[in-house]
Amino acid sequence: MKLTGPLERVLRVFLADLSARQYGYELMKAAKLPSGTLYPMLARLEAEGLVTSQWEPQPQDAGGRPPRKYYQLTGEGARVARLELAQAFKATRRITHDTGRPATGSAH
Amino acid sequence: MSSHSRVQDLAKYLILRACRRLPYDIRNERYREWTAELPAILDDPGIRFPGRRVARALLYAADHYRGARKLPQTSSPNTTIQANGGLVAFTGRADFPTVRALIADRAKQAGVPASSAIDLVISVSEIIANTLMYTSSGGLVRVWQAEDEILCQIDDTGYITDPSAWRERLAPEGCHGLWLVRQICDQVDIWTSKAGTTVRLHMRLPGAGGVGADAVPSQQGSEGRPQ
């Protein structure tokens, strides 16, 4: 799994509340992603077993709305997501260190 | 509320167009999933201006058209094949009789009427003729019975790049075989990539009733089509 910016944002939203039911539109808003980016990503995560989806009937008082689908991380998904984000964090720290050091060194 | 419903109709139409880019067997579900989000967008209390909500709903719907291309074009075609099926490999014209015999035999076992069995044999022949015409290697034919239909699947090493193959209309030149197959079978799924092509033909068994009327997505997307 290659951790891209959009994917990282989606994983962060999922990890923020593992028990939350994430609907497509709410995920789009929270991760600030357009639908054409979000849904292919969710499909890929689902195919890899990191995310599951479920249909949920809407309450009666919602005026006969159709059932919506929500997404949740699986146990494996939560583990992989934490690992990937931790690695990405480490990698960015290494980059800032690497670029920072020679700059101060060359001043001498 | 009425202007809402007009916006919803337009958004649903855009989603329908996006879904037409998807394989048949996942179109319906995606259409239902994506249109079900529309009320949440149009009534989003987080957006103050109604015009903004409308714009967002339409953008949401339109962007699925781009996303549909990136969705996996497969619902993993090889996983649902059941043990009660038959399988035969083909590498050339000499294998046609074996393939035909297998399909005819399994169709008869499944209770397909003789005339439909012939249709199915013709359909499979068309697909494997395509394989032999466009690829240097042969392929694999599988046939099996599901609950209320008989399925034939042809796997080969080719990659369909001609976009007219996807169109439901009759192309002016070539691809008539696939067009014919679409007319004969109840459903045709195609998965194609550089790794190979899988064509799956569905034919409903007699007595399956009207299940197909809403279970099988027609090209018009009759199920839940915007009124």
pLDDT for B219: 40
Distance from CA of A90 to the nearest CA of B (A): 30
Longest dimension (CA), chain A: 73
pTM for the whole structure: 0.54
| Pair B31, B224: CB distance under 8 Å | yes
Q: What is the structure's pLDDT at B7?
A: 92
Q: What is the Cα–Cα distance from B160 to B167, expressed in whole angstroms?
A: 12
Q: How far apart are CA A41 and CA A27, in angstroms?
A: 12
Contact B225/A at CB under 8 A = no
Smallest Cβ–Cβ distance between B66 and the set A29, A36, A62 belongs to A36
What is the distance in angstroms between the Cα of B37 and the nearest Cα belonging to chain A?
Answer: 6
pLDDT for position A104:
47
pLDDT tens, position by position, A52-101: 888 888 877 667 788 899 999 988 889 999 998 888 888 777 766 666 55
Question: What is the pLDDT at residue B135?
Answer: 86
| Averaged pLDDT, B27-34 | 88
Report the pLDDT averaged over residues A30-59: 90
Q: What is the pLDDT of residues B102-113, one digit of tens each?
A: 999 999 999 999
Among A23, A37, A67, beta carbon nearest to B67: A37
Lowest pLDDT segment from B14-23, B81-90, B140-149, B182-191 = B81-90
Poorest-pLDDT segment among A82-91, B169-178, B183-192, B205-214: B205-214
A68/B67 Cβ within 8 A: no
Residues in chain B within 8 Å Cβ distance of A28: 60
Instruction: Return the number of other C-beta atoms located less than 10 Å from residue A107's C-beta.
Output: 6
Query: For the purposes of burial, counting CB atoms within 10 Å of the CB of A61, is it exposed (0-12), middle (13-18) or buried (19 or more)?
Result: exposed
Chain B contact for A38 (CB, 8 A cutoff): yes
Q: How far is A64 from A58, CA to CA, in rounded Å?
A: 8
Mean pLDDT of B3-12: 88
**Dist. CA B124–CA B204, nearest whole Å:** 15
Q: Mean per-residue pLDDT for B36-50?
A: 92
CB contact under 8 A, A43 and B71: yes
